[in-house]
Chains A and B, each alone.
Chain A
Amino acid sequence: MLVFLGFATFPVLIALALVLRSFNESSVVPAIIFGVTFFLGVALIVLVFYAARIMPNSINALIKGTQILGAGHLDEKINIKSGDEFEDLATAFNEMAEKLKNSVYKLTAERNKMQVVLSGIRDGVIAVDLEHKVILFNKAAEDLTGYKQEEVLGKNITHILRVFDKNSEITVSEYCPIRYDEFEGILFQKNALRILVKEKLLFANFSSGKISEGANVNLGCLLTLHDVSVEQQLEAMKLDFVSMAAHELRTPLTSVRGYADILKSQIWDRLNQEEKEYFYRLQTSADNLGNLIDNLLSAAKIERGAFKVERKPLDLVGHIRSIVDNFQEHARTKQQTLKFIEPQDLIPLVQADGFRIGQVVSNLLSNAINYTYPAGSIEVSVHIIKSEIARSMVSVSVKDTGQGIPKSALPHLFTKFFRVSGSLEAGSKGTGLGLFICKSIVNLHEGEIWVESIEGKGSTFTFTVPVATQADIEGYHNKKMLNGFVRPDSHAIIRRA
C-alpha cells in the first residue's frame, strides 16, 4: 500500500515544484502553506481512490475464502497477492486451514483404524449410551446376533438380547450399570452365559467395561461377547461321550463280575491255592476297573455341575472306624500297620454324605497304602476344631510314613488328571482323578482338604467337614417322614424309602 502511495506522490511532487516557482516572486511562506495543503489534498484524493478500488477486493476475497474453508473445503486456498496485511491475513488463514486439514485427516485415520480394529475383532463389541441405547455394533456382533448395525442403532440393548446364567436372567442394571463417577475398568464379567437373541440361544463369555470419560461422551458401557457355543457343544459332547462310554464299559464289567462270582461259587471248593489266587486277582481287577469307570463318571458329573452330595447328620467316628477296618487286610498284605486312633474328645455328629465321605477316606487310605513302603505305618485320626465365630468343624487326618510328595507337586495335587511324576511313577497308578474327586466332595461339604508332606518321611492328608447343627438334625428327622430316596451312584442299590 505504501508503494502505491509512493507512486501516487510522484505527480504531486512535480505539481508542487511548479507552484513553488510561481510563488517565488511574491511571498514564499503563503506559497509553502498553499503547496503543503495542495499536496495533502491530492494525497487524500489518491488514498480514497485507492481504498475505494483496492481494499474491497481483498476483503471480498477473504470473506469468500473463509466461507469456503468453513464449508470444509480445506484444500482450497485464499489467493490474495496484495502485498499488504490482507495478504498476510490470507497466508495465516491458509496455514490454519492446512493444520486443520492435517488434524481432520489424523482423526479420520484414527476413526478408520478403530473401525478396522472393531470389525476385525472376532468378539462381538457393542457400545451403549447412558440410556442403554446401542451406539456401536461391530461386525462380529452382527454375525453373532444376526442383527445388522443399522437395525439396532438407537435401540435399547434389552430389546436386542437377554442374558441368563445357569439359574436366572441377569438384568441390564447388573451387567451394564450406568455410573457417572470416575470409575474405569471392568463392570461385569462372567463366562459361559446364555445369551438369548432372536429366539436363538448362544453361549458367550460376557464382559462389560466403562471408561472414565464415559459420561462426557454419552457412553454407558462397552459390552464384549466371546462366542463359546461351539466349545459348549464340544464340552457337552465330551461329557455325553464319557457318560456313554462309562455306561458301555459297565455292561461287560457286569458280566465279568457276575460270571466270575457264579463260577467261583460252583468250583471254589475244588480249586487249589494257586487257582484261588487267580480268582482273587480276577475279582480285584474287575473291582479296579469298576472304580476307574465310577471315577470317570464322577469327574464328568463334577464338570457338568451335576455331582451332588446328600448331607445328613452322620456319626463320623463310627463311619471312619469301619472304613479303616475294611482296609486292614489290604495293609496287612503290604506288611503295614494301619491304626484308627480313637479320639480323646467327644466328636459330635457331622452334616455329611456318608457314602461320599467314605469315598474320600477310602481314596486317602488306598493312596497311603500304595505309597508307603512295607513295614510302614498309617494312622487315621479325627479331631474337633471348635469355633466361636464360625461353624465348628471335624477334621480327619490320614498320616503315613510313606515316600512323601515332592514340594513342586504339592500345589497341583488336587487338580484333575495330575499325577506326581518322577520317583513316584514306578509305584503309582491311577488316572489322577482320585484327589480331584476328594477335593470336590469336601468342597461340596463346605470343608477343606490339604496335605502336609516331607519327601522321604511321609504325608498327612487332612480334610474337614462341618458339625451338624441342631437345625440340621431336626430338619433331617422331619425330612425322613417324607419318603425320600438316595441318589443312584452313591449306592449300588437305591430303594424307595
Chain B
Amino acid sequence: MKKILIVEDEIFISEMYAKVFADNGWGVDTALDGETAITKATTTHFDMILLDIMLPKVTGIDVLKKLREILSASKESPVYMITNLGQEDIMNEAFKLGAVGYIVKSQLTPKDIVQEINSFFEKQARKDAVS
C-alpha cells in the first residue's frame, strides 16, 4: 500500500482529501502544520507528499526546503504543492526546490487530485520501464 502525507491546515480539506485517498487504497497520514509535517516525513517514508503552502508557523516552501536538506526518510519523496494561491514566484520557487506538481485546490475535486497522483505514478512507471 502506497503511503501519502497530506499537509493541510484546513481540517475540512485535510479530512476530505484523507478520506478520498483512503477510499482509493492509499495509506494516509495528515499534518496540520509545517513542524508536524517535517517530523512525520523525517521519521516515516511517504511515497507522496501533498503540501499546502500557506501553513501556520513554517510555510510549505520552508517545509520543502527542510525536507531536501536534512537526512529524512522522505528526502526523495515526490511533492505536490497544493494551494489556492496563484503566485508565479512561489510556484517557481517550489519547482526549483524539486516539487513535481502544483495544484490549485479550489479548481479540482478530491477525485481529480487522486487521479492526478495516480497518473503521476503511472508515468513514472513508464519512464522507469523505458530506462
Contact = CB atoms under 8 A, between A and B. Distances in A.
Given A257-B109, A493-B102, A488 B20 contact: no
Nearest to A306: B88
Contacts of B84: 247, 250-251, 254
B107 to A, nearest CB: 4
Give the size range of B's interface with the partner: 20 to 34
Nearest to B16: A258
A251 B13 contact: yes
Contacts, number: 87
Would you call the interface of chain B mostly helix, strand, loop, or mixed? helix
Interface in B71-125: 84-88, 91, 95, 99-112, 116, 120
A492 interface: yes
B106 A261 contact: no
Contact of A488 (B10, B13, B86): B86
A211 B64 CA distance: 61
Contacts of B13: 251, 254-255, 258
A492 B116 CA distance: 11
A258 B109 contact: yes
B18 to A, nearest CB: 11
B116 A493 contact: yes
Interface in A234-276: 243, 247, 250-251, 253-255, 257-259, 261-262, 265
Interface residues of A, number: 28
B12 A494 contact: no
B66 interface: no
Contact of B109 (A251, A261, A308, A488): A261
A485 B106 contact: no
B68 to A, nearest CB: 15
A450 to B, nearest CB: 29
B65 interface: no
Contacts of A308: 88
A251 B10 contact: yes
Interface string B2-31: 000000001011001101100000000000
Contacts of B105: 250-251, 254
Given A247-B84, A255-B12, A495-B100, A488 B110 contact: no
A250 B87 CA distance: 14
Contacts of A250: 84, 104-106
A413 B11 CA distance: 43
B95 A492 contact: no
B116 A258 contact: no
A487 interface: yes
B99 A293 contact: no
Contacts of A253: 106
Contacts of A297: 86
A489 interface: yes
Given A247-B85, A251-B13, A496 B99 contact: yes
A406 interface: no
A261 B111 contact: yes
Given A493-B101, A494-B102, A255 B85 contact: no
A321 to B, nearest CB: 23
A177 interface: no
A255 B16 contact: yes
Interface in A17-66: none
A420 to B, nearest CB: 29
A251 B54 CA distance: 11
Contacts of B109: 257-258, 261
A494 B101 contact: yes
Nearest to A255: B12
Nearest to A248: B84
Contacts of B20: 258, 262
B12 A492 contact: no
Interface in A473-495: 485, 487-489, 492-495
Given A488-B87, A493-B116, 20 more contacts: A247-B54, A247-B84, A250-B105, A254-B84, A257-B109, A259-B12, A261-B109, A262-B110, A290-B106, A293-B106, A487-B88, A487-B91, A488-B85, A488-B86, A488-B91, A488-B104, A492-B108, A493-B104, A495-B101, A495-B120
What are the 8 A-B residue pairs with the smallest beta carbon separation, nearest first? A492-B107, A250-B84, A489-B86, A250-B106, A261-B109, A494-B102, A488-B86, A254-B105
